Amino acid sequence: MTTSTPRTALITGATAGFGRAAARKFVDAGWQVVATGRRADRLDALRAELGDALHPACFDIRDEAAMRAALDALPERFRSIDLLVNNAGLAQGTKPAQDALLSDWKTMIDTNVTALVTLTHALLPTLIARKGAIVNISSTAATYPYTGGNAYGGTKAFVSQFSLGLRADLHGTGVRVTAIEPGMAETEFTVVRTHGDQAASDKLYGGANPMTAEDIADTIFWVASQPPHLNVNRIELMPTSQSFAGFQVFRG
Ligand code: NDP
Ligand code: 8X3
């Protein structure tokens, strides 16, 4: 009988939404998963649900020292990371730039950009050694501006361009890099964006038949399941109910 060593994914933001659905998907498919997030109770519940193929790592991704301590504390069998899924992220606020809170902008940049590059930088040696892969969760907001999208769209444009830049730099290493750019998907995203307004979230998604967390988890898993000679550079996906509108014109 032969036994193969399971591959290991580190998935950030695994306490909700895409990240939690992805953790379930990968463990169900035989992977080991390091699942991160701030909510320890959610991570503990996921560990109870998925068993010892899941290692919970509880830290605020903006706290570099906590991130490094969590990586240093990984049990031996979870240290050989083959796949980094940079998923943790958020939008904060829906107001136009002139009415937005600077603190919201800084939270988005610290989480969606600074933390993402810090973790990626820390794991690059391991990923190169293992000819691994990076999947970065960007957004349609990276490409299509909308009112109130300001700094959020800026952070996601960074994620998409950073992904392409990583591809260029990692040329010849065997490390694959993908940016996934989803449109509207129902998760806790809008409750977080509105600082806790569940009614606003229900209104946004109500009747729209949005994508689900599982749709995105399936996409992440499909990307990770491609053969080593094939790199998916970027994927943009939307619910069928969502499309594009025109430019706005101000007449004074
Ligand atoms: P959720 O709010 O459901 O999940 C976000 C996850 O990110 C949670 O697990 C949360 O964990 C984690 N997270 C946020 N801030 C931090 C932090 N400071 N430290 C550690 N973890 C953090 O949203 P989604 O699943 O929808 O979002 C996942 C990603 O997908 C994000 O990058 C988002 O921008 C992107 N996206 C979402 C879309 C959507 O329509 N839903 C569309 C396109 C992109 P915790 O709170 O426990 O720390
Ligand atoms: C989330 C999608 O359209 O709310 O990244 O920006 S959107």
- Taking the chain (252 residues) in runs of 10, the rounded mean pLDDT of each run is 80 99 99 98 98 98 98 98 99 98 98 99 98 98 97 99 98 98 98 98 98 99 98 98 94 94
What single letter denotes the amino acid at residue 170? L
Per-residue pLDDT, 1:
47
Q: From 38, 47, 103, 234, give the residue whose CB has the most ligand 1 atoms within 8 Å, as the site to mutate.
A: 38
**Burial class for 200, CB neighbours closer than 10 Å (0-12, 13-18, 19+):** middle
For the Cβ of 139 lying below 6 angstroms from any atom of ligand 2, the answer is: yes
Does the active-site annotation cover 152?
A: yes
Q: For residue 126, what are the CA distances in angstroms to 9, 83, 154?
A: 12, 10, 29
Give the global pTM. 0.98
Q: Do the interacting molecules here have an ipTM over 0.90? A: yes
Which amino acid residue places its CA nearest to atom 5 of ligand 2? 139
Written as six digits, the tokens of 119 are 């973790």
Q: What angle do CA 193, 194, 200 make, to 5 degrees?
A: 115
Task: Give the DSSP letter of residue 115.
Answer: I
Bridge-based pairing of strands 185-186 and 211-212 is parallel
Q: Confirm if 188 and 212 have CB atoms less than 8 A apart.
A: no
Token reading at 41: 């109770």
Full set of structural domains in the chain with CATH: 8-235 (3.40.50.720)
CA trace torsion 227, 20, 114, 143 (10° rounding): 70
Tokens of 116: 């993402």
Residues 6+ apart with CB under 8 A from 170: 128, 177
- pLDDT of 246 reads 83
